[in-house]
Amino acid sequence: MKKQLYIKTYGCQMNVYDSGRMADVLAPIGYAPAEAPDGADMVILNTCHIREKAAEKVFSELGRLRNLKEEKRAAGGDLLIAVAGCVAQAEGEEILARAPYVDIVLGPQAYHKLPEMVAQAERAAAQAATARANGKPAPGQGILNTDFPAEPKFDHLPAPSVSGPSAFLSIQEGCDKFCTFCVVPYTRGAEYSRGVAAIVAEARQMVAAGVREITLLGQNVNAFHGEGPDGREWGLGALCRALAEIDGLARIRYTTSHPRDVDDDLIAAHRDVPALSPFIHLPVQSGSDRILRAMNRGHTADDYRRIIDRLKTARDDLALSSDFIVGFPGETDADFAATLKLVEDVGYVQAYSFKYSPRPGTPAAGMANQVPEAVKDERLAALQALLQTQQVAFNQACVGREMDVLLDREGRQAGQLLGRSPYMQPVHMEAPAALFGALARLRIVSAGPNSLRGELIAAHPPQPKERACA
């Protein structure tokens, strides 16, 4: 009988990728995916430390899982509980102290060791059950691994399992930027880039399994500097050119980027590589040079504008998404006005915007002149209203256009398929189920605030899957 594994994923696309890889490493020891924690034999909370009150949310979820664990024990079984990801990395010892019923705590660099940790946890759980049956106190059994190993975890992972026409591929991890608001350098470690040969081999396996679109992932994905087949260091532009040579790979995306790492070769790749999506997520965080300095971003607002101008010159149909933080310590009305001006100048088709909230251990958490919550709320509302206006205008401008959409999901209604436009907009259309996985040419016939509707012009049905390499 297969054991049931439920993974709850918080946060970014890197965490989504990591959750899939944890499922991959546990599959050979008998764990199959479950749809809910009820009835599962193991639950993993794959956590993110970026959002506000991240740790508190994890402890709240752990309280619910404790009840499930006690119910399973009362019925003669057990539930393994693991906490993974960035909260685990930052607060591993605190998790085991506050929630001693947690079996495993592991950081983002340790999940390739999950089978070994699960075996240890199962032995510890059996010993604890024997002690309880004999009326003795159960020994502590929490396993903690938040090391940054010398050997890359990617060298120890199995080939990824993929389902559907779109997949993530991690090429870079960690961050050396040390923005004053961010915990990533402390939870993910220093920048590390995989070798080009390993990335291309993994991409070929994905395409052989039916993948048509690959999203390259990294905390600073355009800081990629992996060793190429020629022994030289390759950047992201060169990697995209190599991936575009894979027959059957229709579209390449990447996220998340940093303005400081947009180099000449990457800009040229957007000009020269048709498979490279004309959509870039390029976080700026603020339009104020004073706040950008306080954030340690390493660029000015005009530096950012010049990068955008160069990208749009290289590819005139390119569109932008970004991240913004409002209410950073010391932000004045003038600083916020500069952010609104930058948004007006650039024009975004999508964006993520948040109120600043302190992250323990980061320099910004101890800065003076923290902005009152009411002021943050007012500024966030104004920024989001402007961003929403731009998004709606871009969606409306797409009506009448033809574009290629990868149909990767079933719709809510019978006879409906959904996909993503080149600009990451959700697009729905009436289409037979046989076109699932197809790259379809659509004419956009209507637009809403958050999605588009298309009509089929032509489609390239998905090809039969080949057997993936071992």
Per-residue burial over 162-171, b if 16 or more Cβ lie within 10 Å, else e, is: beebbbbbbb
- Rounded CA gap, 294 and 330, in Å? 9
Tens of pLDDT along the chain (470 residues) come to 689 999 999 877 888 888 998 999 999 999 999 999 998 999 999 998 776 677 788 889 999 999 999 999 888 888 999 999 888 888 888 999 999 999 999 988 888 889 999 999 988 887 777 766 777 666 566 899 887 765 566 766 777 778 789 999 999 988 999 999 998 888 888 899 999 999 999 999 999 999 999 999 999 999 999 999 999 999 999 999 999 999 999 999 999 999 999 999 999 999 999 999 999 999 999 999 999 999 999 999 999 999 999 999 999 999 999 999 999 999 999 999 999 999 999 999 999 999 999 887 889 999 999 999 999 999 999 999 999 999 999 999 999 999 999 999 888 888 899 999 999 999 999 988 889 888 899 999 999 999 999 999 987 655 544 333 33
- Rounded CA gap, 442 and 459, in Å? 8
Residue ranges in 277-433 assigned as alpha helix (H): 289-295, 301-314, 333-346, 373-397
Query: H/E element holding 15?
Result: helix 13-26
Could you tell me which of 63, 53, 3 has the C-alpha nearest to residue 29? Answer: 3
Could you tell me which of 94, 92, 102, 46 has the C-alpha nearest to residue 69? Answer: 102
